[in-house]
Structure 1
Amino acid sequence: MTRASEELGLTQAAISKQIKSLEQNLGTRLFERRNRAVHLMDHGREFGRVVSEALNSVAVASRDLRQQHESGEVVLRSQLCEGLYWLMPRLSGFYQKYPDIPVRVTVSTKPLAESEERFDLALQTSGRQQGDTKQIFTASDEVFPVCSPAYLDGETLPLSMDRLNGLHLLHHKVEPQDWVSWEAWLARQGIDLQIGTDGTVFDSYPMMIQAMLEGHGVALAWRRTIDSYLNAGTVVRPFEERLCLPDGLSIYQPTGWQVRHGTSELLEWLKLELS
């Protein structure tokens, strides 16, 4: 009690009063008082451990934020699939143009509203929960079926959409379903086609894409994440139909943060690449 009062700049009586209020709030005793001494009980020892771990987490997070701010790195947060398939193959171009601007890329499958770390810019599918950020730029994207050349070996492309029911479909399903499903893709284009229930379901877009590359079936892919495979010939489009999304992707910036040096240059580079 004495050490706590000295650290907090309060009297021992005030500390004792706060402890009693805490015990009343929790509905259990944390300390045993006998012979003018205070002894920590089992509940108090366990609660103290939890509080200590929580305060340590706050200290670590504070340290990380200070280091990010002091390091001068521009932090770019990206959805996992765009970061893996679209951003990383191009980022060397930014470094060649701006060798003195360090960029740290973080990726996540969670929407911006659930982000727990600071960032300067973010790349995310338009319409997902964006939290306390502002949308500053949008870019188009497309969604269309793709498969490996070996999966349809011998067939003449493009196929008629009626052929879709005879193919093994790969599904990417998440909760909430903020990715275009096969049903939504067909409906938004006015295609009256009931697809069967056969297929394979993935909760990871990269896993679905890898299965498609290995010849497991036909997947719905976003153009920005699949372009390199199409250009290399490792992926083909079995159908001509595509769903155009004029504002498919967005660049976001958090509010209330001081803009770090290099953020504006990275933003202009992203606009150019996305356009």
Structure 2
Amino acid sequence: MNRLGQSLPPLSTLLPFEAAARLESFSRAADELHLTQAAVSRQIRALEDDLGLALFERRNRGVFLTPDGREFADIVSRALRAMADQADELRGPHRGSQVILFCQLCEAFYWLMPRLATFNRRHSDIDLKLATSTRPVTEHRDPFDIALQTHGRPSGNHRLAFTATDEIYPICSPHHPAAQQAPLALSSLAGFELLHHRVEPQEWMEWRDWFRAMGHPLTAPLPGKRFDSYPLMLQAALEGHGVALGWRRTTERLIASGELVRPVSDSLPQPAAIAVYTRQGSPERHATRALLDWLKDALADTDH
């Protein structure tokens, strides 16, 4: 008697369930799989009937995994990913040597790209694909193997491989008045036009928090321009629109080239500012391990 045939749920239900569980949306799962929402809903209902329990709680504003659904989703996702990765290995060395890195846009542009040639020379057999976004990895809908983003941003169930240091300090154009009067005392910095990075939720350190961490809490309002994108705020600083908070790893080359300056010497160390994750359920592969090791070395090389 075939026990697998008796125990496994209908295999046609697993892909719709995995997508709906990952996205927590039947409609977005339908878009991803090029199905109708009704077809996804029907497949998930068939899976629930087969298992004899509810995998989703259906509310007016959406669907949410039940505890049983979340546990089963984790198992299904790992199993499907493992099969997909092994299938790529079997299809040939070209597919097996591909690795996809999800990276925050600013880190990709200012930190990763100047160093990428080093990885390509060291691992000429590996086909590295880069996916970038200003949003956290939990909102990235396409496949990836490794993710690099600010520590503390939503990461879902992906496994934390390691963290790396950074530091935060004020930056501005060398033509900005703050630069002309440098070095400034920290107490006078708030008198200049400040550039603010405001997002919902506020996952990045903002000026008021930075001043407080530096032992200089402020009560007065901090006027200035607001941006919902760190790369855009950084560009505004380059163009001389104000003083921004900069992260060393994305600004050190701009400072070294003279495009940006530090109007004050004060800096806030961040022992675990950057986080590198491996995708949930991803098996160990040569290409993934090579990229992970290289990232760890490259981030350590720029530690102070």
Q: Normalised by the size of structure 2, how large is the TM-score?
A: 0.67
The answer to whether 1:80 aligns with 2:101 is: no
> Higher relative contact order by CA 8 Å / sep ≥ 6: 1 or 2?
1
Structure 1 residues 147-162: aligned runs within 5 Å: 147-152=172-177, 155-162=180-187
1:234 pairs with 251, 259, 268, which one?
A: 259
The answer to whether 1:251 aligns with 2:302 is: no
Aligned CA distance change for structure 1 residues 156 and 56 (closer, same or farther; 3 Å):
closer
- What are the ranges of 5 or more consecutive residues in structure 2 without an aligned counterpart? 1-28, 37-79
2-structure distance, mates of 1:221, 1:176: 19
1-structure distance, mates of 2:131, 2:32: 24
Aligned CA distance change for structure 1 residues 52 and 110 (closer, same or farther; 3 Å):
closer
**Structure whose alpha-carbon radius of gyration is higher:** 1
> Does the residue aligned with 1:91 lie in a helix, a strand or coil?
helix
Q: How far 1:66 sits from its partner (Å)?
A: 6.5
Q: Counterpart of 2:134?
A: 109
> Does the residue aligned with 2:215 lie in a helix, a strand or coil?
coil
1:56 pairs with 20, 34, 37, which one?
A: 34
The answer to whether 1:198 aligns with 2:223 is: yes
Contact 1:78 1:106 in 2 (8 A): yes
Aligned CA distance change for structure 1 residues 99 and 57 (closer, same or farther; 3 Å):
farther
2:281 maps to amino acid? G
The answer to whether 1:188 aligns with 2:213 is: yes
Aligned CA distance change for structure 1 residues 195 and 242 (closer, same or farther; 3 Å):
farther
Contact 1:113 1:130 in 2 (8 A): yes
Summarize deviations over 1:194-238 as a string: whole Å, max 9, x none. 453421001111111111111111000111111110110111000
2-structure distance, mates of 1:217, 1:230: 16
> Does the residue aligned with 2:180 lie in a helix, a strand or coil?
coil
Q: Counterpart of 1:172?
A: 197
2-structure distance, mates of 1:53, 1:269: 35
Contact 1:165 1:196 in 2 (8 A): no
Q: Normalised by the size of structure 1, how large is the TM-score?
A: 0.73
CA RMSD of aligned residues (A): 2.6
Q: How far 1:52 sits from its partner (Å)?
A: 8.7
Bigger shift: 68-77 or 82-91? 68-77
Aligned CA distance change for structure 1 residues 161 and 261 (closer, same or farther; 3 Å):
same
The answer to whether 1:264 aligns with 2:264 is: no
2-structure distance, mates of 1:57, 1:89: 41
2-structure distance, mates of 1:54, 1:89: 33
Q: Counterpart of 1:95?
A: 120
How many residue pairs match? The answer is 221
